[in-house]
Amino acid sequence: MRSYRLPSGGSIPALGLGTWRMGENARTAEAELAALRAGLEGGCRLIDTAEMYGEGGAETLVGRAIAGRRDEVFVVSKVYPHNASRKGTVAACERSLKRLGTDRIDLYLLHWRGTVPLAETFEALAGLRAAGKIVDFGVSNFDVADMETSATLASGAVATNQVLYAASRRGPDYDLLPWLQARGIPMMAYSPLDQGSLLVDAKFRRIAASAAITPAQLAIAWTLSRDGVVSIPKTGRAERIGELLAAGAITLSPETLAAVDATFPPPRRKVPLEMT
């Protein structure tokens, strides 16, 4: 599995597991925990989470999953925009560290842009990096204009931008992904399965069948076929982990890629960045 270089000199794996909507229900917590542990046992080395997910519940699950094997895992988490003041960012990070049961977060993101001045948030993130609380920092749900603003800030060594991106959600292809690629900034694709809609799309299923892979594998492999893209699918079921992680070894043929393009054409004009 390939990886991408980050400003710290470290690297981020190209395939990991997301945790959005985990940690919200005590009845599903053990199954979700089992899925994360199965991912680690299957060779997954990247887990993405956020203080927003389950209001800390997902971070707590991740902390349980990585206990005893922290050094094997690249951990990503995020700060709420309303917590992203100079002091609030530090306090939020400390809470996340406690829930995760770790002394550092490998990549800490501003979840989306809010009312706090970006320069103030970046100063706080740079301070956390200097203190060793985080290794790299980045952003999420930023379009090109926001990225250009980020690039003007002295403290803004932005390591990544995490956005909604799937074969059926290709807005970033028009300008955001090329902007990031030109600067060597990895783009993290959340919801690469389009919240499951690609798994039931008849045309997409036929393309997957022609390639002798599952629709989930096609969706993930498609994102991984894009230069500079990290894919973070999510499942709360341990029995599906092997299927998802196997997508990391799949190389899609030109015919399969062309079939996806024909079904979900790339945008020909600017499309507003989507968030879900």
Q: Which residues form the catalytic set?
A: 53
pLDDT for 31-49, tens place per residue? 999 999 999 999 999 999 9
Kindly provide the residue ranges of all beta strands, DSSP E only, lying in the chain, ordered along the sequence. Answer: 3-5, 11-13, 46-48, 74-79, 105-110, 134-140, 161-164, 187-190, 229-232
CATH architecture label of 11-263 = Alpha-Beta Barrel (3.20)
SS3 136: strand
Edge-first strand order for the sheet with 105-110 is 46-48, 74-79, 105-110, 134-140, 161-164, 187-190, 229-232
Classify residue 5 by its DSSP letter: E
What pLDDT score does 276 carry?
A: 80
What pLDDT score does 157 carry?
A: 83
| Segment 105-117 mean pLDDT | 98
| Segment 140-169 mean pLDDT | 93
Give how far Cα 72 sits from Cα of 43, 65, 69, 233, Å. Answer: 9, 12, 6, 19
In the predicted model, is pLDDT for residue 248 greater than 90? yes
